[in-house]
Amino acid sequence: MEWDEFEAACPEIGRLARERLAKDELVMLGTLRRDGSPRISPCEVDFAGGRIFFGMMWHSMKALDLRRDPRLVVHSVTRDRAGTDGDIKLYGRAIEVFDAPTRELFRETVQARLDWAPEEPQFHVFALDVERAGYAVFDDERQRTMVWEPSGGLRVLDGDG
């Protein structure tokens, strides 16, 4: 489902994810290489038009991975060993964006954030089709795990679960 649908279906994780990822402007993106082994890459993230977008350099390895196999995982950037900011995890499929109006919306969003935008046609942009999501934080004062799937909804585990 598109981002706005996910956020409506699971506002508990959706709100945390949007705030965190918009603030960080960067995620770790997991893709599958041609041989099936995993690849992890940093990737910028933007929200616009009810969708979450990932822009990539033209023919980058992660973009080619997603063209071959759209399955991906998105992980928030971890700042410290204790993970006090919590971990956001999004699972789903990448949908490459080809239509001009959506690509222009993406470019405008990047321009507003960076005062720069990629030039057509030499970049890839993918939107995430969210299939599952999770959030976990484990520190001395808070221990919480939330997991969301469309079929089972939100499950929350606090403390020892």
Residue 54: CB partners within 8 Å, gap ≥ 6? 27, 29, 43, 44, 45, 46, 94, 125, 126, 127, 128
Residue 19: CB partners within 8 Å, gap ≥ 6? none
The pLDDT confidence band at residue 81, using thresholds 50, 70 and 90, is confident
Q: Is residue 83 part of a domain?
A: yes
Q: Is residue 85 part of a domain?
A: yes
Q: Is residue 130 part of a domain?
A: yes
pLDDT for 18 beyond 60 = yes
Contact call for residues 96 and 58 (beta carbons, < 8 A) = no
In the chain, the number of structural domains is 1
pLDDT in tens, 25-75: 999 999 999 999 999 999 999 999 999 999 999 999 999 999 999 999 999
Contact call for residues 138 and 83 (beta carbons, < 8 A) = yes
Q: Rounded to an integer, what distance in angstroms lies between the CA atom of residue 102 and that of residue 125?
A: 9
CATH of residue 112's domain is 2.30.110.10
What would the two tokens of residue 74 be?
């998105």
Q: Which domain covers residue 40, as residue numbers? A: 3-135
Q: Is residue 60 part of a domain?
A: yes
Q: Is residue 112 part of a domain?
A: yes
Q: What is the pTM of this model?
A: 0.95
Q: Is residue 100 part of a domain?
A: yes
pLDDT in tens, 94-121: 999 999 999 999 999 999 999 999 999 9
Q: Is residue 119 part of a domain?
A: yes
Contact call for residues 61 and 38 (beta carbons, < 8 A) = no
Q: Is residue 150 part of a domain?
A: no
